[in-house]
Amino acid sequence: MLIINLLALAYLLLNLIRRALLTFTPSQSALAWWGSAVNFNDVGQTFLSAIPLPFQYWIKQYLAYFLCLYLFSQALQGLLPIPFVVLGLFGTILLLLACIDWFYFLLPNPLTLLLMVTGTFSSISLFGVEPMNIILRCTACYGVLCVVQGVYYSLRHKVGLGSGDVKLITALACWFDLYQLSFLILFASIIALPFCLLQYRGLRSLLAVVIPFGTFLSFSAIYCAYLFHRDFLMLF
């Protein structure tokens, strides 16, 4: 039963990612974006669009909503552990951020704020972290990154670390402690290095390279969640 519930949850979250990516535009407001992503009207064209299958409209419109009710009832019965739901939501937000930053060089504030809120509640309820601890490490993380950002700009007269990246790292501080966060940033920098070198070809200076660092931060965070919280998930 757990495997069936996890497959249903994965289908639901992947469908949400698909809808959110198909409806995202940089100039659109957050409310309009999420409204178009989760409303009853389907987005995108599929191979089923040209086939007049019986009950196709009903299936496309209401399957996700019945799955939400089903998974909610399973969670209430203890057949879908909450940590798996939290991990699924964590991965969904990060995959959305990774894709959007890759194509648009943008990290939407609503997604970053949602990551911060869910991380705060998860750290307090699941990992027993003190609220003051989360506040202190987020404040310290944001302050240090703003100083680094300002010093680099004053020296190079160029943005080295975007404001979206600063907000994303601060949001990840709600999920990871400072030691884990430092490893996360280091691993993101390592996997971003080959991309920098590929972009450097044909350019006069490495400083001209612009990379979607939020994409690499997101993938690094997913790996670090498995690396640092694997034992916790094994309990379920």
In terms of pLDDT, which residue wins out, 36 or 136? 136
- 50 sits in the region (left: phi over 0; alpha: psi -120 to 50; else beta) called alpha
**Rounded CA separation 153/155 (Å):** 5
Residue 118 has pLDDT above 90, yes or no: yes
Question: pLDDT digit string (tens) for 67-109?
Answer: 888 888 888 888 888 888 888 999 999 999 999 999 888 899 9
Identify the band that residue 131 occupies on the pLDDT scale cut at 50, 70 and 90. Answer: very high
The per-residue pLDDT for 46 is 45
- What integer pLDDT is reported at residue 40 of this predicted model? 46
Q: Summarize the chain as % helix, strand, coil (round to 5).
A: 75, 0, 25
DSSP string covering 185-207: HHHHHHHHHHHHHHHHTT-S-GG
pLDDT of 47 = 42
Looking at per-residue pLDDT, the higher value among 45 and 187 belongs to 187
Chain mean position to CA 150: 26
- pLDDT higher than threshold 60 for residue 57: no
* Number of neighbours of residue 205 by Cβ within 10 angstroms: 7
Query: How many other C-beta atoms can be found within 10 angstroms of the C-beta atom of residue 117?
Result: 12
Average the pLDDT over 131-156 and give the result: 89
pTM, full prediction? 0.83
- What pLDDT is stored for residue 150 in this prediction? 87
